[in-house]
A and B are shown apart, each in its own frame.
Chain A
Amino acid sequence: MNDTALYQQAIKALARAAHGTGRLEAATGSAFLDNSLCGDRVRIEVIQHDSLISTLRHETRGCLLCRASASLLGLHAPGQDRDGIRAARDALEQLLVTPPATVLPTATSPLPWPELTLFAPAHPFPSRHGCVLLPFQALLAALGPDSGR
């Protein structure tokens, strides 16, 4: 795996788009997490209605992978509930620990969000998995404790 695959145009564009960047005044949940390894920092604020995320904003100071991941949440998290976010996080985690050759093409992918495949080239670099997952962990923390279902 080389850096051309990891830093493909699509993931750079996703990071650059920075979907959901900003702060919320009337957040119903928020969390601030940092990656003790590299110093990436993510603050996520959400407004929830009937357990669904209606608005999400984040402030992300981190590497390109972390920013792309946060941007992905800005794109897809609104409309999701905690279970949906957790399913996406689990799928992403599985993707990261699975060799890329076994990842299904996007068109037939069971992944909840097709852009998750952009992170597959990070598989050989476990030290970067935390960067990718940090925004998801922050969002789950912002959504509060698991209901136990």
Chain B
Amino acid sequence: MLTGFDPLAVRRDFPLFARQEAPFHYLDNAATAQLHIAAFEAMRRHEFGSRANVMRGNYRLAERATAAYETARQTVATFLNAAHAGEIVFTGGTTAAINLVAAALGRSWGPGDEVVVSQAEHHSNLLPWQQLQARGITLRILPLLADGRLDSSALDTVISPRCRLVAVTQASNVTGAVTDVAAVVAAARQVGARVLLDGAQQVQHGPPDVQALDCDFYAFSAHKCFGPTGVGVLWGRAALLEALPPVLFGGGMVGHVGLYQAGWAPAPRRFEAGTPPITQAVGLAAALDAMALLDWKAIQAHETALLEYLLQGLQQLPGLRLLGPADTAARLPVVTFSMDGLHPHDICQVLDSHGLALRGGHHCARPLMDHFGVEASVRASLALYNDRTDVDALLAGLTEAQEILA
């Protein structure tokens, strides 16, 4: 492992930065982090040297492809500190992973059963659960404090004995607030409910530990942690995955198949119908291997210092309202705000002309926008390769936006 941290040195591992017209400041990492060169090179090597379908052919090329895919599964298991690789399901992304759990688990639930989410959820961790209401399952919502953090005092009242699952984000894609997972898990365990964590935002800020988190399911996307788009992961406890029915049917996920009935392969293959995202899984593994070499304590210290610098700068701007915590405690470097009289889309348009890439909109979290009483907002999300020059450019750009749009 390398010790210490230099964001400029790390930035060289992300080729996109060298290919953009200056100035360029990428502050939309919560939407998609940039691709690590190791991921790209691994995918290129795989495509040119080992491209074949997996778990089907017995020729040497196919054996190499299968080995690469299963090695990627093991790498993900190590990244998450999962008990073993059999707990790793490759999916199309976080959204697909959560939909898989909702469809599979929801099948065994009935009227009166409850599922709990918070008002801070990304639509990906809200809409799949909403769909279960059509079958009589009750959706209950954990309320938020004024700053968007989960109101932990409501856990025991919202999570009732009829609760079957609590599905919450590990960290908000809007406010950056990190959920008190221990409190959520404790409340869920009190009533025998399972816990799913949406880890989409957390994974680019250091490896999670699913055993320490003590959750039951964990979902994330490769493109949030410097890997390619098109692949994600569902981790589930082995016994739980083994008890879940498949929700997609086709090649690769079967045991016996007759004309009128079929049996299923064991997990995780049962959940990977069709040709999986093989090359993308290889790319994800390479990105995770690269992450494993980094000093995450140093990176987190860098990100927190940068977050503090950003918060201080934003609070100096007239008419700016932070949507979310104003401090750095239990918080990812994701900051969302609105500005008096200016629409986020217009602000981001002006920022773009200054080489600043930020997201303006509802961030796929409309109920959270409602909580803050806004239709949309501007989000700056920092990653390990950002530094003070990015923040300084943002602060200058916002001042310019206020002048141009006035």
A interface residues (Cβ-Cβ under 8 A, vs B): 2-4, 6-7, 12, 37-41, 61-66, 125, 128, 131
| Apart from A62-B375, A65-B345: 19 A-B pairs, beta carbons within 8 A | A3-B353, A7-B404, A12-B405, A38-B362, A38-B376, A39-B362, A39-B369, A39-B375, A40-B376, A41-B375, A62-B343, A62-B345, A63-B345, A63-B346, A64-B343, A66-B343, A125-B349, A128-B349, A131-B345
B interface residues (Cβ-Cβ under 8 A, vs A): 343-346, 349-350, 353, 360-362, 366, 369, 375-376, 404-405
Cα distance, A94 to B346, chains bound together (Å) = 22
Cβ of A128 and Cβ of B404 under 8 Å apart? no
Q: Is the interface of B mostly helix, strand, loop or mixed?
A: helix
Which residues of A have CB within 8 Å of B405? Answer: 7, 12, 64
State how many angstroms separate the Cβ of B25 from the closest Cβ of chain A.
16
Given the known interface contacts A39-B375, A63-B343, A63-B345, the answer about A3 and B350 at a Cβ–Cβ threshold of 8 Å is yes
Given the known interface contacts A61-B375, A62-B343, A63-B345, the answer about A7 and B350 at a Cβ–Cβ threshold of 8 Å is yes
Which residues of A have CB within 8 Å of B346? Answer: 7, 63-65
Determine which residue in A38, A61, A65, A66 has the highest number of CB atoms from chain B within 10 A of its CB, and name it.
Answer: A38
Cβ of B361 and Cβ of A38 under 8 Å apart? yes
Q: Compute the total of residue contacts between A and B using a CB distance below 8 Å.
A: 48
Cα distance, A20 to B340, chains bound together (Å) = 23
Cβ of A38 and Cβ of B345 under 8 Å apart? yes
Some 18 contacts from A to B, beta carbons below 8 A apart, are A3-B349, A3-B353, A4-B404, A7-B350, A38-B345, A38-B360, A38-B376, A39-B366, A39-B375, A39-B376, A40-B376, A62-B343, A64-B343, A64-B346, A65-B345, A125-B349, A128-B345, A128-B349
Which residues of B have CB within 8 Å of A41? Answer: 375
Cα distance, A51 to B346, chains bound together (Å) = 36
State how many angstroms separate the Cβ of B357 from the closest Cβ of chain A.
13
Which residues of B have CB within 8 Å of A128? Answer: 345, 349
Q: Output the nearest chain B residue to A7 by Cβ-Cβ distance.
A: B404
Which residues of A have CB within 8 Å of B344? Answer: 38, 63
